[in-house]
Structure 1
Amino acid sequence: MILAFLQYLEFVKMVRVSTLNDALKSMYNAEKRGKRQVMIRPCSKVIIKFLSVMQKHGYIGEFEFVDDHRSGKIVVELNGRLNKCGVISPRFDVGVKDIEPWTARLLPSRQFGYIVLTTSAGIMDHEEARRKNVGGKVLGFFY
């Protein structure tokens, strides 16, 4: 009986596929539960840049990187404005002319929410990419 239970625990272990996806899901779940802050680990540069885009538009408050001499942690202050966020996988290539159909597909309306792209000029939202006339790969969205 105990051996079967231990084999079950080995089977149920969580496999981390995408750290960005895990981070956004934990933020979304904490927001829906009414939490004021959430801790995200592990941390990566992509997650930090994605959070800075969200912070620039006011969807989250301050966030702080905590170095634990491993992969690091981020503590994010939530302000109750985030309705939905997610990752687009696989990361599709998007040209400047193709940004508009992606916004129509992913966002609830034209003036509400942002798509985050990774471009040759860095990680930015779709409006900034359109202003700079650069395309890239779709990372995710938030509104």
Structure 2
Amino acid sequence: MLNDPLANVMSLMLNSELIGKSECLISPVSKVIKELLKVMKENNYVGEFKETEDSRGNYIRLTLIGNINKCGVIKPRYSVKNTEFENFEARYLPAKGIGILFVSTSRGIMTHYDAKSKKTGGRLLAYCY
């Protein structure tokens, strides 16, 4: 039984990138995972993805483009104000301006750069660089 599907997706993507695969299959699928993949695609970390259904349930076929060096989830899911992002940037990202933090806000899942510009806080979900 899977306890944290988001953590499983992030480790699956990282492991597939490290061994040189060009695509991976993600199952189970949730709205959070789809929104996170959409934000990753907008920031050029992953390629196209397509949700399909078979007899065992839904899965996503994700195309990897080789831009992920490291990614993972942030636990516990810290609640962050828009003025506190710098502390978590220093903690999870290698340098200023490199990588993104994924934030779940009342306006949906977005990067910490978007959350800063919209002056909104939220809960930290994951990081990628």
Question: Which TM-score applies when normalising by structure 1?
Answer: 0.87
Give the structure 2 partner of residue 95 of structure 1.
81
Instruction: Flag the structure with larger Rg.
Output: 1
Post-superposition CA distance 1:66-97 (Å, at most 9, x none): 12365410111001111011001121100011
Residues of 1 paired with 2:62 and 2:122: CA distance? 27
| Residues 109, 63 of structure 1: alpha-carbon distance in 2 compared, 3 angstrom cutoff | same
Matched, 1:16 2:7: no
Aligned residue pairs total 129
Q: Unpaired segments of 5 or more residues in structure 2?
A: none
Shift of 1:39: 0.3
Residues of 2 paired with 1:116 and 1:32: CA distance? 21
Give the structure 1 partner of residue 43 of structure 2.
57
Residues of 2 paired with 1:135 and 1:71: CA distance? 34
The match for 2:98 among 95, 100, 112 is: 112
Give the structure 2 partner of residue 133 of structure 1.
119
Normalized per residue, the structure richer in helix is 1
Post-superposition CA distance 1:87-141 (Å, at most 9, x none): 0112110001111111111000111100000001110000000000000000000
Normalized per residue, the structure richer in strand is 2
The match for 1:48 among 34, 53, 57 is: 34
Matched, 1:31 2:17: yes
The alignment-based identity, stated in percent, is: 40
Q: Unpaired segments of 5 or more residues in structure 1?
A: 1-14
Relative contact order (alpha carbons < 8 A, sep ≥ 6): 1 or 2 greater? Answer: 2
Taking only aligned residues, the RMSD between alpha carbons, in angstroms, comes to: 1.1
| Residues 90, 71 of structure 1: alpha-carbon distance in 2 compared, 3 angstrom cutoff | farther
Q: Displaced runs of 4+ in structure 1, greater than 6 A?
A: none
Residues of 2 paired with 1:98 and 1:71: CA distance? 40
Residues of 2 paired with 1:70 and 1:36: CA distance? 23
| Residues 69, 121 of structure 1: alpha-carbon distance in 2 compared, 3 angstrom cutoff | farther
